[in-house]
Structure 1
Amino acid sequence: MTEDSNIPPSPTAGPDNRHAHWERDLLERLAFVSLTEQRRARRWRIFFKLFFAAYLLVLLVIFTTDFWSGKSLASRYTALVDLEGEISSSGVASADNILSGLRAAFESKSTVGVVLRANSPGGSPVQASYINDEIKRLRKKHPKIPLYAIIGDVCASGCYYAIASADKIYADKASIVGSIGVLMNGFGFVDSMKKLGVERRLLTAGEHKGFLDPFGPIKPDEAKHAQSLLNRIHRQFINIVREGRGETLKETKDMFSGLFWTGEEAVKMGLVDDLGSTSYVAREVIGAEEVVDFTFRENVFDRFSRRLGTAMAQTFASDLLGRAPTLR
């Protein structure tokens, strides 16, 4: 035996060692492929997360700038503002709320016409006057955007005062329209107090501070003053109607008496231009069938605060101010 025969065989020379090397190489490749796939999957997950975040951001922008503001992605639409319920400074149909909706409607670039949908028995002459004045201002500022009033179930007294300056007024044939007059109401308990043996104790500084006190007999000079006040407001109301309706108005002896009529009769009298609904006016008159609502809406907290404030204000007003003139 030679000297070289004493050298041990190479570790890789045997079939078992060659098999182990092949398995290790395969495992390394599989680990590399798995790592590559994990990296690729991680990149896709990051991509989809970013894409989804961008999608949500776009939706958020759309909803905050268009949906919640009452706007639409359409290039042309009819803007709607609702005048619903009693017109008062503390109610949903206050001048502040109605005017906020009207201003937003006129200022939108996609508005081609505005509809003021009125359904109210009336209310404060001051609030109605604010609405009427702003309608005239907005029409002058935006001469290319018409404003049409649409009467629902009823538009009486202060409601009609508010919408009288619209470009045109529409109603249903069964709508109640009119009641162009002013009232101031209350109660008298003089005889009841005598029967019950109740003595009224009222101290005032000022001859007429207890004006029309319901627990005392009515004073002729105070009744005369109150009637004069009502007459002046009534004349203001009549002038507003004449100015707003113009030559369309066909005056009769009963028109400003406080009576009211159906929409069908109101068309003949010139108080209403034609019969039609909101969708009809949007589609056939304005030419933009899509209607976008710009009406101011209260949230729950605002509604609770308003009712609480109204209750407190009414308590103090009944003690200090008595009854105010009302357009009803």
Structure 2
Amino acid sequence: MNVVNVVVTCTKDKKQPVPEECKLRNVPGNSLRARFKEWQSRINRNKRNRVIVKDLYAGDHWSNVRSFGSAFFEIDIWVCSAGLGLVRFDDLITPYAATFSQNHPDSISAPLSDDERPDAFKQWWQLTSRWKAQFEDRPRSLAALMAAYPNRSLLVAASKNYLRAIADDIRKGLPKLSDPDQLSIVCSGVNSLDGLDANLVPCDARFQAATGGARRSLNTRLANKILREARVPPRASILAARYRKLLRQQPAIQKYDREPMTDDEVRQFILRQLNQNSSLRHTPLLRMLRNKNKACEQKRFSALYREVVESING
């Protein structure tokens, strides 16, 4: 049976506890390379409580990944981990907290200078790709993955920030595939990508009507739809034609006239709700806020939620 390589991104939500020294916010370094070297040391010191990749992450995004399937070909899942580089679904890894998302305390770019920040994601990904010791003979970059499996179709589902980090790696690997049409990329809202336009699957928020769920998990929901409906391994040209047509058939993006809130107002709302139910996560809390016709952007709400939780936990 044919095998399709599917590459997804990690998620900030974890099922397993993360050691404090394996949270990137706690890792010093006066340069990106120095910080990465210290990060490697900390991860290597914490091998005792390693878990399987598929069992580490949580949330809607990861639920979609775990449900990937096809009746017509096998699927081999790989994960672009901001903390560890390219890992496979069944690899054993140390629980960690690191992300390519911006405005997050564990972001790769959080403490960097203005000179370092523009290329930080790309440079960090390059450093993880050279990290061999913990992962035996696995491909450690997307280029290496494509070189190892030149005849497999490759479906990449990534957010804008993660795609920014891995795009050069994808470009480097594309010539290693038997046919560039074997590569398909799902990234909501990205309509053009230098050298990879022919590989982009049309996708934006309008597909929520077809896939359901939150926008933050739209990429993996669409990837799941592609995999479950395809009778042969995905080809970019076929997917582009099909999903461009399907996108035109979707209803317009719904706009809301919600009342904006200050940071303090949002914090107070979160605190009140957590005092009533301390187990509430930020996603259902944001839904509750919006149901009251109040406005708060998702990343901002998530950051404020973390602030409140950290203040409660002391």
Fold shared by both chains (TM-score > 0.5): no
Larger Rg: 1
Into which bin does the TM-score normalised by the smaller protein fall? under 0.3
Alignment TM-score, normalising by the size of structure 1: 0.26
Higher RCO (Cα < 8 Å, 6 or more apart): 1
